[in-house]
Amino acid sequence: MAPFPLPLAELMGHWGQYVIYLLIGIGFGFALEMSGFANSKILAAQFYFRDMTVLKVMFGAIVTAMVLVFLTSGLGLLDFSLVYVNETYLWPGILGGLIMGFGFILGGFCPGTSLVSAAVGKIDGLIFVLGVLFGIFAFGETVGFYEEFWHSSYFGRLTIPEWLGLPYGVVVVGIVLMALFMFWGAEHLERIFGGRDLSKEPKWRVYAGGGLLGMALLVAFVGQPTTEERWARIEATEMARLANREVQIHPAELAATMTDDTLQTIILDVRSEADFNLFHLQEARHAPPALLPDMLDELRAAPANTVVVVVGNDETAATEVWKYLRAESVRSVYILEGGVNNWIRTFGDETFVAERAIDGAADDTLAFHFPTAIGAGYTFAVPNEALAAGIEFTPRIVLEVKRGPGGGGCG
């Protein structure tokens, strides 16, 4: 998979990344100011249908970015799963949007445009910024009274295609068509209410709209990569790591990782529910393949010090899950060498191992007989630090640079 989005903090250092942020901020502010967004009269005029610059500029930027994001994603140049998408809290979001819109109408600015106005010395923009800061303070002091509502109707990282159950390309084309209709309608509103002479408008805007629609149709034609296609792009490198045993970690290394306070260990037990109930490692999560898609957002967004270890009875099923997780951009994923069977042989009670071993157990099946299903109730489900300390192994775990979703949003 292509290395985008770029992990700027890791590539340029803590302070170096701020140079990029500064340049992006200057460019964004310059574009807003050149569009007239520092002038509250222009911004407020949209509510009277006299000047629809705000709708045309902002919606134009949004749909252009949308088309480019999904086109580059379809071509394999961008990993959309790592692009930040604001989590959806439906009713708080609706109420917040209404409050922000009401403030926009009253003050003539949104938070972002007020900063642009203040930056160029506009008094009304500065006053609006002070109002924003006061609102932030007031929210922080009062959120405890309505915190339950604030966290209600949570839908996670929800996108329109997921909500409607439609392909991304179809939604992209639909939104572009909606945008073009809105641009057309906005110009006619300006003509009716603002006396604008549309005959004097530049002709290139029509060609630009056609080009945007053409790119949207290309997005629909290219589509978005499937898990199989994503795996095909990284297969050569990842299969080499598998063959070289670079991702299979010894039970003693997993035991050390589980007791390392500097690491967050996620153990995914991909075995059947029956085997999981018979025995599993302490803090292991039952994660059959059918449930993995619902866990992807959490795994991608895990902190940089997170290690994900896939556990099967042996390695066969775990390896397939490992491939899936790697194709879906989950970082620092490893396989327990020899699976649960090897863990039991390494840390299990000698008497249990000798008496409960199943001769000729089939591949990737539990190789020991358990009289009762008590899961992690067995003593050897817990890492034996003393025993693990005396076992020699080649360390495999190396934390990868995290490119998971970071902060985002709009002012």
Q: What integer pLDDT is reported at residue 73 of this predicted model?
A: 93
How wide is the angle at C-alpha 87 spanned by C-alphas 38 and 97, nearest 5°? 45
Token output for 255: 């035991």
End-to-end Cα separation, the chain, in angstroms: 31
- Say whether 395 sits in a helix, a strand or coil: coil
Q: What is the 3-state secondary structure (H, E, C) of 268-305?
A: EECCCHHHHHHCCCCCCEECCHHHHHHHHHHHHCCCCC
Please check whether residue 252 is in contact with residue 397, taking contact to mean a CB–CB distance below 8 angstroms.
Answer: no
For 309, the 3-state DSSP assignment is strand
Task: List Cβ neighbours of 125 (8 Å cut-off, separation of 6 or more).
Answer: 38, 40, 109, 113, 114, 115, 116, 117, 118, 119
Neighbours of 110 (CB within 10 A): 20
Omega before 3 within 30 of 0, i.e. cis = no
Domain ranges of the chain: 8-226, 228-389
Reported for 367-376, long-range contacts at CB under 8 A and 24+ positions apart, including other chains, are 367/313, 367/341, 368/279, 368/341, 368/344, 370/278, 370/279, 373/274, 373/277, 373/278, 374/279, 375/276, 375/277, 375/278, 375/279, 375/280, 376/279, 376/280, 376/281, 376/282, 376/283, 376/284
Other CB atoms within 10 Å distance of the CB of residue 372: 10
The CATH class given to the 228-389 domain equals alpha beta
The structure's pTM equals: 0.81
pLDDT at 5: 64
pLDDT score recorded for residue 83: 85
| pLDDT for the residue 254 | 95
Residue-level pLDDT, tens digit, the chain, 411 residues: 444 567 777 778 888 889 998 999 899 889 889 888 999 988 988 889 999 988 999 999 999 999 999 999 999 888 898 888 888 999 999 999 999 989 888 888 988 899 999 999 999 999 999 999 999 999 999 999 999 999 999 988 889 999 999 999 999 999 999 999 999 999 999 999 999 999 888 999 999 999 999 999 999 999 999 999 999 999 999 999 999 999 999 999 999 999 999 999 999 999 999 999 999 999 999 999 999 999 998 999 888 899 999 999 999 999 999 999 999 999 999 999 999 999 999 999 888 899 999 988 888 999 999 988 999 999 999 988 888 888 999 999 999 866 544 444 444
